[in-house]
């Protein structure tokens, strides 16, 4: 089977996008996302037309409810213009496109559930906040040196075992993403941080920049990058 695909990047968060009508099994997704065995990506996106729809899979083959960066890439892949909506996991997400900038609305601020919690890690109490940004997120507002071990410790708690863990300090966000590990950027993670801070933020790294807006909805706005296209043989 031939799979025609395009590879996209949003702030270094990179995706394989295809509109295959056939289901792609977990093993194939893992191989396609593996940089040594396949194309290399943080996740795979399946898109459909009439109506516009998207499914997102992490690089370990697991399905996720949404990916904010991937959503903007899918909108560019589908060559959608101006305003509209795209269906993801049963929910319609509104978008707008203007002069190459893609804006997506994730969730109404008033509908976001969150709660504060803490963990004792290496003799230190670390405070954090859980945020349901469609997918579960943990936000740590602190300068943590050993981010990976703390992320694993929080995810080791049963109630947070599938959560993404975001560290915010000095205007920088580092996200340990479920099914992926640390990524260059995470759209819903950035949205969760902005929600906790209760303000708009600018996320910027060597790959680009993204505005996270806190209005009626939490919104992500940025450009995305088409990297290359090809054919993958299954």
**Active-site annotation holder among 67, 106, 140, 154:** 67
Taking phi over 0 as left and psi of -120 to 50 as alpha, with beta for the rest, 195 belongs to alpha
Q: At what angle do helices 187-197 and 68-77 cross, to 10 degrees?
A: 130
Q: Which two tokens stand for residue 30?
A: 């893992």
Question: Which of 63, 71, 13 has its CA nearest to residue 41?
Answer: 13
**Active-site annotation holder among 186, 193, 218, 220:** 186
CB atoms within 10 A of CB 146: 11
Could you confirm whether 73 is annotated as catalytic? no
Phi, psi (degrees; rounded to nearest 5) at 33: -80, -15
- The separation between the first and the last C-alpha atoms of the chain, rounded to the nearest angstrom, is 5
Which sequence positions are flagged as catalytic? 67, 186
């Amino acid at each position: 089977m031939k799979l025609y695909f395009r590879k996209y990047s949003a702030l270094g968060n990179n995706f394989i996008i295809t509109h295959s009508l056939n289901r792609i099994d977990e093993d194939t997704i893992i191989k396609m996302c593996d940089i040594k065995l396949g194309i290399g990506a943080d996740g795979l996106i399946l898109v459909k037309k009439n109506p516009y729809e998207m499914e997102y899979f992490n690089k370990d083959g697991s399905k996720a409810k949404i990916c904010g960066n991937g959503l903007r890439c899918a909108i560019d892949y589908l060559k959608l213009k101006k305003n509209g909506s795209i269906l993801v996991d049963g929910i319609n997400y509104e978008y707008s496109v203007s002069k190459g900038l893609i804006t997506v609305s994730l969730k109404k601020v008033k509908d976001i559930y969150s709660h504060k919690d803490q963990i004792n890690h290496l003799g230190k109490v670390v405070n954090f906040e859980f945020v349901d940004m469609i997918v579960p997120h943990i936000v740590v507002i602190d300068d943590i040196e050993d981010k990976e071990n703390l992320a694993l410790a929080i995810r080791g708690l049963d109630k947070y075992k599938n959560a993404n863990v975001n560290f915010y300090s000095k205007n920088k966000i580092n996200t340990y993403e479920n099914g992926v590990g640390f990524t260059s950027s995470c759209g819903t993670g950035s949205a969760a941080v902005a929600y906790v801070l209760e303000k708009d933020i600018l996320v910027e790294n060597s790959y680009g920049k993204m505005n996270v807006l806190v209005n009626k909805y939490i919104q992500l706005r940025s450009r995305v990058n088409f990297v290359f296209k090809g054919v993958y043989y299954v």
